[in-house]
């Protein structure tokens, strides 16, 4: 998958929107002001960082060692909760989509219940 395909997929999630808090070079996708995906170029390679829980992040890194790494730009205390990986076809598209879905669900689960309910009631016409 390329960066634009990933961004488009993220933006189909309920309440998701694009933001640029780190400048124009980093496309951030948020829900309720919380980041669940970041897209940028790292050493000339299109890359992404996604949110996760520590155990699932570790599982993903062990599944694809050297390809999926701890969130490279995150403070060390947050690194276990973020994964960075290249968007250069080194991972199957279905797996990238699964990680995006997991990231979104992880962020939604941390929101107050009334916000979760409101998001679940949103109806988007695509």
CATH number listed for the domain at residues 3-121: 3.90.1150.30
Give the pair of three-digit tokens for residue 36.
Answer: 């669940």
User: CB of 99 within 8 A of CB of 47?
Assistant: no
Cα–Cα dist 54/83, whole Å: 10
Taking the C-alpha atoms of residue 70 and residue 23, their distance in angstroms, rounded to an integer, is: 22
Contacts of 65 (CB under 8 A, 6+ apart): none
- pLDDT tens digits in sequence order for the chain, 126 residues long: 999 999 999 999 999 999 999 999 999 999 999 999 999 999 999 999 999 998 999 999 999 999 999 887 765 656 668 899 999 999 999 999 999 999 999 999 999 899 988 888 876 543
């Amino acid at each position: 998958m390329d960066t634009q395909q990933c961004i488009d997929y993220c933006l189909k999630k309920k309440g998701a929107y694009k933001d640029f808090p780190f400048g124009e070079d980093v496309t951030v996708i948020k829900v309720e002001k919380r980041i669940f995906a970041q897209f940028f170029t790292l050493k000339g390679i299109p890359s992404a960082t996604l949110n996760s829980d520590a155990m699932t992040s570790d599982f993903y890194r062990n599944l694809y060692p050297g390809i999926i790494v701890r969130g490279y730009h995150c403070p060390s205390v947050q690194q276990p909760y973020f994964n960075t990986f290249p968007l250069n076809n080194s991972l199957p598209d279905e797996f990238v989509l699964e990680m995006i879905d997991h990231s979104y669900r992880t962020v939604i689960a941390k929101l107050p219940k009334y916000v979760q309910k409101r998001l679940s009631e949103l109806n988007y016409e695509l």
